[in-house]
């Protein structure tokens, strides 16, 4: 979890990397996990863990 972040530079991806950044509220991210829209285990795990920590 990160707070008060700011963009300081552009991404420097490898030629075969494709990565996008999407800023959404935590509650929406949890719903995205539950709907299967976020299905990478590490990302889903962290979103659900942070949601529980914030209660």
Environment class of 29 (CB within 10 Å of its CB; exposed 0-12, middle 13-18, buried 19+): buried
Q: Where are the beta strands (DSSP E) in the chain?
A: none
Longest CA pairwise span in the chain (Å): 40
Confidence band (pLDDT; 50, 70, 90) for 5? confident
Which residue bears the tokens 């991806």? 13
Q: Is the pTM of this model over 0.85?
A: no
Report pLDDT digits (tens) over 28-49.
999 999 999 999 999 999 999 9
Residue 50 tokens read as: 């942070």
- Give, for 15, the enclosing helix (H) or strand (E): none
């Amino acid at each position: 979890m990160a707070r008060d972040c700011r963009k300081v530079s552009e991404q420097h991806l490898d030629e075969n990397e494709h990565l996008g950044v999407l800023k959404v509220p935590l509650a929406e991210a949890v719903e995205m996990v539950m709907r299967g829209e976020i299905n990478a285990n590490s990302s889903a795990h962290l979103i659900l863990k942070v949601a529980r920590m914030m209660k």
